[in-house]
Amino acid sequence: GAVGKDGYRHYMEKELHEHPLVIGQTLQRMIDPATRKVVLPDMPVDLATVPRAAITACGSAFYAGVVGRYWLEEIARLPVDIDVASEMRYRNPPLTPGSLGILISQSGETADTLAAMRSLKQAGLPILSILNAEHSSMARESDVVLGTVAGPEISVASTKAFTAQLTVLACLTIAIARARGTLDALGEEELVTALLDLPSKAAEVFTHGDAIRKMATIVAEARDVLYLGRGSGYPVAMEGALKLKEISYIHAEAYAAGEMKHGPISLIDRTVPIVATVPSGVLFDKTLSNLQEARARGGRLLAFTDDEGAERVSAIAEQTIVLPKVHPFVTPLIQTIGVQILAYETALLKGTDVDQPRNLAKSVTVE
Ligand code: AGP
C-alpha cells in the first residue's frame, strides 16, 4: 500500500529518521549474528584472486561508490576504477579481464547506470549490483545482487538508501579483505563491531537537531557554499553539497580540503560559508590546517566533528556540531547523516518543495 509520512512534515524528514533502522536491517542481512562474520551469497568471481573492480553509479549512489573505493583499496588492497555511469559508458576504458563490475543504485532503473552495466557485461565483466529495488531491471541483469534493506525511498533526495549502500559496501570490503588475506579474524571482529555500533550512534545524531538548525540559518543566507573533507570524508562532502543543491537551490561545491590552495581558496570571504566534515582520525590534523587557512582568509567555518575532535575544531570554527565518536572506518556514515540533516533544515528555511524539488525526478530513466 501507499507509504505515509507517519506524522513527519516530509518524506525526507521521515526517511532521515530511518537511518538507524535501515543500517541495522542491512547489517542483519549481511552479518551472521552467531559468528559475527560477514556472509555473502555466491560470487561470480573468486574474491581471493580478483585483480580489480570497476564501480559505476550516478549521483548519491556514485558518492557511496567513492567511499567504497577508499575502503576497498585501503582495507582489501583491491584496485578500484570508478566513474559516473554517463562517463564510464562512453569512455571505453581498458577493463582488466576477470575484474568485477560493481553497480550501485537505489531504484535499479537509472538509464545511465543500466547502460553502463550493459557495457561492462559486454566487456565480459561479471556484475555485482548493490540495489534497493530488488525487483528492478538492474536486478534482473546482474549476476549477483546485494540488497540494501532501506525500504521504499519516496523523497527525491536520497538519504537512507545512501547509508544503506555504504553499509553494504563496508560489509563487502570486509569479506573481500578476508578473502585476500589483508584482514585477519581480529581485524574483522574490530570492523564488524564498529558496524554493529552504528545504529545506536546514528540515532544519537538526532539529538543535535537544534545545533544543526542554527547552522542552517547561516547556510540559508548564502548564495554559494563550499563543502570540504578529506579521505572518505571527501565523498561525504560531495554528498552534502549535492543534497544542498537539490533541495535548497543554493549553489554548493565539494572539494578535497587539500585542493583548496590550488584554486577555490580565492573564493573565500564572509559570504561563502565552509561546511567541513572533520572527524578525528589520521587525516584530522591535515584537514584542520586546511580549515585554518580558509579561516585566516575570512571564511566562516561550520564544522562537523566528533567528541575526540571537538576541542580543537571548536577553537577555530564559528559553529561546531559534535557527532558521536565512532571507529574511523564508519565515520562517513555518521558524518553523512549530519550533512543531510543540514540540507533538509536549510531547505525548510528557504521554503522549497523538499520532497519534489524542481526539475528532478526520483528515478532518471532517460539518458
Ligand atoms: C540523490 O539525492 C539524487 N536524487 C540522485 O543523485 C540519485 O542518487 C541518482 O539519480 C541515482 O539514482 P539511483 O540510485 O536510483 O540509480
Q: What ipTM does the predicted assembly reach? A: 0.99
Looking at residue 250, its pLDDT comes to 98
Cβ 159 under 6 angstroms from ligand 1: no
Cβ 198 under 6 angstroms from ligand 1: no
Taking the CA of residue 156 as reference, the ligand 1 atom at the shortest distance is 4
* Ligand 1 centroid, distance to 143 Cα (angstroms): 22
Taking the CA of residue 242 as reference, the ligand 1 atom at the shortest distance is 2
Q: CB–CB of 29/20 below 8 Å? A: no
The CA distance from 149 to 157, in Å, is: 17
Residues with Cβ within 8 Å of 33's Cβ and at least 6 positions away in sequence, in order, are none
Taking the CA of residue 60 as reference, the ligand 1 atom at the shortest distance is 8
Establish whether 243 is a catalytic residue.
Answer: no
Q: What's the distance, CA 103 to chain centroid?
A: 15
Cell numbers placing 75 = 582495507
Which of 110, 137, 148 has the most ligand 1 atoms within 8 A of CB, as the residue to mutate?
110
Cβ 105 under 6 angstroms from ligand 1: yes
* Ligand 1 centroid, distance to 363 Cα (angstroms): 7
Q: Report, in angstroms and rounded to the nearest whole number, the Rg of the chain calculated over CA atoms.
A: 20
Q: What is the dihedral of CA 167, 168, 170, 173, to 10 degrees?
A: 180
The CA distance from 139 to 320, in Å, is: 42
* Ligand 1 centroid, distance to 161 Cα (angstroms): 9
| pLDDT by 10-residue block (mean), the chain, 367 residues | 87 97 98 97 97 98 98 98 95 92 98 97 97 97 98 96 98 98 97 98 98 98 97 98 98 96 91 96 95 92 97 97 98 98 98 91 86
Looking at residue 364, its pLDDT comes to 87
The CA distance from 357 to 363, in Å, is: 13
Cell numbers placing 268 = 573565500
Whether pTM exceeds 0.95: yes
* Ligand 1 centroid, distance to 22 Cα (angstroms): 18
Cβ 85 under 6 angstroms from ligand 1: no
Looking at residue 233, its pLDDT comes to 97
* Ligand 1 centroid, distance to 15 Cα (angstroms): 15
**What residue has cell string 562537523?**
304
Looking at residue 1, its pLDDT comes to 52
Cβ 244 under 6 angstroms from ligand 1: no
* Ligand 1 centroid, distance to 84 Cα (angstroms): 11
β-bridge pairing 31-32 and 37-38? antiparallel
Cβ 246 under 6 angstroms from ligand 1: yes
Cβ 137 under 6 angstroms from ligand 1: no
Nearest CA to ligand 1 atom 5: 59
